[in-house]
């Protein structure tokens, strides 16, 4: 999506004034039910087709993940995790956990916090975090800021890309292309409230089916997300490649939180301090008579050296 004309922007990168937010929209969310995903990649294809992206034809690396990671042209990618899960009787059971990777659309986005370009990253009031490419300067700070390692900087145009949650479709009341294409209903889209409610039902069903700790993945550390997962093993999100407690790195927090305003104030303050010091104390000048004195000195010295000669 382009520009700031949507009038419902809750946050905008590198901006110290209010954002255009005359309109308010309900929070939306995508719920990805890992337990009912069959790994068909219809979502990946739908994403590619709707956004009209054609990634390079890659090389098969020996398993189903293809391409093996997100790229500037593959905004969503299926990750296949083969996991040996311990059973109550200490035996193990192979589980094939398939997760659709992509932007989480954080309520507190690390990319937006780290971005130095005004309006290059926006968060709409419906929760979607979008990259506005015309404002992107290609610095890669969004990559540094993201707790989920999602944005990818293109080698061809030096712009960062990621899933937009089909903000263009959502703006006209359509669901994201991936949700539309999913044949098993593993991807659902609606208001965040509805998705949490539906997810809770799925978690209850999974419990009945014998899973010990199924859960909704909606991590608090980033203020919750607008892409959520139903995980069979909600106590160990790491086994499907999700961080257990994602937060904006304290390094990034310090850099773009406290350091930024403090440093600006200190630098401007130092200039002002110098200005007023000069007004109060005045310059260190060499007096006229000192010039004369040193001339006198020189004469003496020259006389001395004459005497020596």
Partner 1 sequence: MARLIRRYSDGTRINHWMVALLFLCAGLTGLAIFHPVFWFFTALFGGGTWTKILHPFFGLLMVLGFVFLFFQVWRDNLWQPRDSEWMRRSPRLLRGDEDAMPPIGKYNAGQKGVFWLFAVCLLVLFVTGFVFWQPYFANAFPILLRRIAVLLHAIAAFLLILGVIIHVYAAIWVKGSVRAMTRGWVTPAWARRHHPLWYRQVNGDQ
Q: In angstroms, give the least distance from the CB of 118 to partner 1.
A: 6
Contact between 58 and partner 1 (CB under 8 A)?
Answer: no
Closest approach, Cβ 238 to partner 1, in A, equals 17
Nearest CA to 100 among 280, 227, 253, 225? 227
Looking at 45-53, 100-108, 191-199, 274-282, which segment touches partner 1 (CB under 8 A)? 274-282
**Chain-centroid distance, C-alpha 31:** 19
Instruction: Tell which one of 172, 283, 308, 309 touches partner 1 (CB under 8 A).
Output: 283
Is residue 295 at the binding interface for partner 1, with CB under 8 A as the rule? yes
Instruction: Please check whether residue 48 is in contact with residue 194, taking contact to mean a CB–CB distance below 8 angstroms.
Output: no
Q: Is 182 annotated as a binding residue?
A: yes
- Give the strand pairing for 227-231 and 28-33: parallel
Q: CA quadruple 25, 124, 238, 180: dihedral positive or negative? A: positive
Near partner 1 in 226-265, by CB under 8 A:
249, 251-252, 254-255, 259-261, 263-264
Nearer to partner 1, 116 or 183 (CB): 116
Q: What is the nearest approach in angstroms of partner 1 to the Cβ of residue 158?
A: 6
Site for partner 1 in 150-179 (CB under 8 A): 153, 155, 158
Each residue 103-142 as x (binds partner 1 by CB under 8 A) or -, in order, gives -------------xxx----------------x-xxxxx-
Ligand-binding annotation for 83, yes or no, is no
Strand order in the sheet with 227-231: 187-191, 28-33, 227-231, 215-217
End-to-end CA distance of the chain: 89
Contact 130, 164 (CB under 8 A): yes
């Amino acid at each position: 999506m382009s520009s700031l004309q949507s009038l419902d922007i809750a946050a905008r990168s590198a901006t110290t004034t209010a954002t255009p937010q005359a309109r308010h929209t309900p929070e939306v969310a995508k719920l990805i039910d890992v337990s009912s995903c069959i790994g068909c990649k219809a979502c990946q294809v739908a994403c590619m087709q709707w956004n009209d992206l054609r990634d390079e034809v890659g090389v098969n690396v020996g398993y189903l993940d293809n391409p093996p990671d997100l790229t500037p042209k593959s905004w969503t990618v299926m990750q296949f995790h083969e996991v040996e899960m311990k059973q109550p009787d200490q035996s193990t059971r192979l589980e094939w956990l398939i997760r659709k990777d992509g932007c989480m659309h954080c309520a507190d986005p690390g990319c937006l916090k780290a971005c130095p370009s005004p309006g290059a990253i926006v968060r709409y009031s419906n929760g979607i975090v979008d990259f506005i490419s015309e404002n992107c300067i290609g610095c890669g700070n969004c990559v540094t800021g993201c707790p989920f390692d999602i944005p990818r900087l293109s080698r061809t145009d030096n712009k960062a890309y990621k899933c937009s949650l089909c903000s263009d479709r959502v703006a006209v009341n359509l669901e994201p292309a991936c949700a539309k294409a999913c044949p098993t209903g593993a991807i659902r889209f609606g208001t965040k409230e509805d998705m949490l409610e539906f997810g809770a039902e799925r978690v209850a069903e999974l419990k009945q089916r014998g899973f010990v700790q199924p859960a909704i993945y909606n991590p608090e550390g980033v203020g919750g997300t607008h892409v959520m997962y139903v995980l069979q093993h909600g106590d160990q999100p790491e086994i499907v490649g999700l961080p257990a407690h994602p937060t904006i790195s304290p390094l990034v927090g310090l850099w773009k939180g406290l350091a930024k305003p403090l440093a600006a104030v200190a630098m401007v303050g130092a200039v002002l301090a110098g200005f007023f010091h000069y007004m109060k104390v005045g310059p260190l000048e060499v007096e006229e008579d000192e010039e004369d004195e040193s001339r006198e000195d020189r004469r003496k010295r020259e006389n001395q050296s004459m005497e020596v000669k």
